[in-house]
Amino acid sequence: MEKADRTDMLSAIDTRSLVDKVEMNLVEYFTRKALQPGDVIPKEVELAAAMGVSRTVIRESLNRLKTMGMIESKKHKGTVIKSPNLGSLLQKSMIPHILDNATLKDIFELRLVLEIGIADLLFTHKTPEDLEELTHIVEQEPEFSEDVLFDVSHEIKFHSKLYEMTRNETLRNFQNILLPVFNYVYDSGLINKPVKNIRYVSHKGLVDVLKNGTPDEYRVAMRKHLENHFQRISLIEKSGKETS
């Protein structure tokens, strides 16, 4: 009984590594052939014969590529190459509780960089309706409080609207994927060190710059808005050095 169990485990591992190899081979083959989105790939049976593996292994490898959004099945056409959706690729690995603190911190930093970096897109694409909506969001926020960091729902509403205003689908997807990680970071206490923000720019201040300012002024204002986050990150880094 015990022996049979062991053998089962071994064959399972073997199949998996074979699927891995076939998956890699397929991606290499698509690249070498310079296949474009919409191009048909060879049939399951042809791939199996060419690679000398079973159709089951081919099917499993193709399923993985489907999950990644690299290929899709089309009626009357077969399986075709698809432009992968970056968002769906990332989403699969964005499970906050299995990310280590260093990665969470990296993602948090990435968000800060994006918030400042989208300035030009905002000024290029902003509409009077956008600005009106932002103003409305700000009006619903509570009066300025010291504890800005923990007002998460208003933070998300305001900043999500900014990403929407970039009219960049990938950025918006990115924001949706990163959001659970921000919530996790807020909750985890990873960034709960108290800081003094002497240069704070409020959401209302940011909207004023969006209405009447320039991209450069916006970058400076957003950097100040995020000052407490930047301070917290530098505190984590210091405490990390002390303990290690």
Residues that bind Zn ion (CB under 5 A): 155
Closest to 91 (Cα-Cα) out of 164, 173, 183, 187? 173
For residue 167, give the H/E element and its range: none
Q: How many CA atoms lie within 13 A of 157 on its CB side?
A: 14
**Least CB distance from residue 224 to Zn ion, whole Å?**
11
Q: Collect all residues with Cβ–Cβ distance below 8 Å to 181 and sequence separation of at least 6.
A: 94, 96, 99, 104, 107, 108
**Least CB distance from residue 200 to Zn ion, whole Å?**
10
For residue 178, give the H/E element and its range: helix 169-188
When the beta carbons of 77 and 211 are compared against Zn ion, the nearer one is 211
**Least CB distance from residue 127 to Zn ion, whole Å?**
21
CB 19 within 8 A of CB 55: no
For residue 73, give the H/E element and its range: strand 71-74
Distance, CA of 34 to CA of 152 (rounded, Å):
45
Q: Which residue has the tokens 């290499």?
A: 28
Closest-by-Cβ residue to Zn ion is 155
Distance, CA of 30 to CA of 44 (rounded, Å):
14
When the beta carbons of 27 and 148 are compared against Zn ion, the nearer one is 148
When the beta carbons of 72 and 155 are compared against Zn ion, the nearer one is 155
When the beta carbons of 133 and 155 are compared against Zn ion, the nearer one is 155
**Least CB distance from residue 206 to Zn ion, whole Å?**
8
Going from the C-alpha of 137 to that of each of 156, 159, 182, 203, the distances in angstroms are: 11, 10, 20, 9
Extended strands (E) in 37-149: 71-74, 78-81
For residue 20 the two structure tokens come to: 């891995």
When the beta carbons of 155 and 164 are compared against Zn ion, the nearer one is 155
When the beta carbons of 22 and 218 are compared against Zn ion, the nearer one is 218
When the beta carbons of 44 and 227 are compared against Zn ion, the nearer one is 227
**Least CB distance from residue 159 to Zn ion, whole Å?**
6
**Least CB distance from residue 227 to Zn ion, whole Å?**
11
**Least CB distance from residue 203 to Zn ion, whole Å?**
6
